Structure 1
Amino acid sequence: MRIKGLGRAAARGWHVGLLAVGMAVVGGNPAAAELLDGMRVASIETVEPAAENEKPGPQTIVARVDLSDQTMHVYVDEKLTHVFTVSSGRGSYRTPTGRWTAEWLSPRHRSRKYNNAPMPWSVFFYRGYAVHGTTDLKRLGSPASHGCIRLHPDNAETFFKLVKANGTENALVSIVR
């Protein structure tokens, strides 16, 4: 083969690269080697993609409670995943505003302070305040609690399980007016 303006070695190098790329594209054996014009050329080795079954690290859970519209927006790693209707504190039982890391969990909690009232799926975040389920479903969407954030029990369970799976240290409760 004769190529003007290029030396034979340059032309051979171009063919070698093309052969290696061609073998990789059509699935040549990674350990295979070919002879081209007296030169030994190894194919490009393929790399396996990362295993899809690898467990990711804990995700950040943020519950943003808006007292003015009685909703809780739940974000998982900054992506909105749930919007729940809540009931917050009524009258003199105001719900505190601020930001807190979840402190502890109790799946079947009962209030010692308020007549053993059920507080299923409790995520405690500040001085005994919690996000928890309620049996008083008709009051969801309006202030009705003694300061806690009440949810439908199914929604409380969803939030509880997110926090449990990712750790209380990775869960933030933010309450705004």
Structure 2
Amino acid sequence: MKRVLSVFILSVVILALLPLAAEAATLTARIDLSSQTMVVTHRGKVKYHWKVSTGRRGYYTPTGSYSPKWLSKHHRSRKYNNAPMPFAIFFRGGYAVHGTNEISRLGRPASHGCVRLDPRNAATLFSLVQREGFKNTRIIIRK
């Protein structure tokens, strides 16, 4: 019983500290799945507000708070017909924030699970992540 209580208390503490980790980041990209938008905060100031496309019906965009794992400027999908994924910022396995050539679909779910951006916005975010570093960047995805 003591162990269960200890695990519960530790879980509550960790969940309480997650927002603090995001606040400690110098660069934060907050994706809202319900509004299909991203708000980019850099050094405490909102810098950008962009339309995105996330997972369409039958596909899943993971929620949570992530740090980038790796970057690929000219990536192509191995899973989806060699589709271009310019300025890809991978944050969980094969999931990434990246540019798309389907700009007209931004603002509504249209992807296989990645977070799609206008390529110009993806390039801007990519550059900011390179400059600030993975440890100082948070990608936060909420419903």
| Partner Cα distance (2:141, 2:46) in 1 | 16
The answer to whether residue 37 in structure 2 is matched with residue 68 in structure 1 is no
Q: How many residues align?
A: 119
The answer to whether residue 107 in structure 2 is matched with residue 155 in structure 1 is no
One-letter amino acid of the counterpart of residue 100, structure 1? Y
| Partner Cα distance (1:127, 1:174) in 2 | 15
| Partner Cα distance (1:169, 1:108) in 2 | 23
Identity within the alignment, %? 55
Choose from 61, 66, 72 the match for 1:106.
Answer: 72
Q: Please report how far the alpha carbon of residue 125 of structure 1 lies from its aligned counterpart in structure 2 after TM superposition.
A: 0.5
| Partner Cα distance (1:93, 1:118) in 2 | 19
By percentage of residues, which structure has more helix? 2
| Aligned alpha-carbon RMSD (Å) | 0.9
**Tell me, what secondary structure is at the counterpart of 2:46?**
strand
Runs of 4+ deviating beyond 2 Å: none
| Partner Cα distance (2:44, 2:95) in 1 | 24
| Partner Cα distance (2:66, 2:101) in 1 | 25
Query: What's the TM-score, normalizing by structure 2?
Result: 0.81
Query: What's the TM-score, normalizing by structure 1?
Result: 0.66
One-letter amino acid of the counterpart of residue 109, structure 1? H
One-letter amino acid of the counterpart of residue 113, structure 1? K
One-letter amino acid of the counterpart of residue 130, structure 2? K
Q: Please report how far the alpha carbon of residue 87 of structure 1 lies from its aligned counterpart in structure 2 after TM superposition.
A: 0.2
Structure of greater relative contact order (alpha carbons < 8 Å, 6+ residues apart): 2
| Partner Cα distance (2:55, 2:124) in 1 | 22
Q: Please report how far the alpha carbon of residue 166 of structure 1 lies from its aligned counterpart in structure 2 after TM superposition.
A: 1.1
- Corresponding residue number in structure 2 for 1:78: 44
| Partner Cα distance (2:82, 2:116) in 1 | 16
Contiguous gaps of at least 5 residues in structure 2: 1-24
Q: Please report how far the alpha carbon of residue 77 of structure 1 lies from its aligned counterpart in structure 2 after TM superposition.
A: 1.7
One-letter amino acid of the counterpart of residue 152, structure 1? D
Q: Please report how far the alpha carbon of residue 132 of structure 1 lies from its aligned counterpart in structure 2 after TM superposition.
A: 0.2
| Partner Cα distance (2:137, 2:68) in 1 | 6
| Partner Cα distance (2:47, 2:139) in 1 | 15
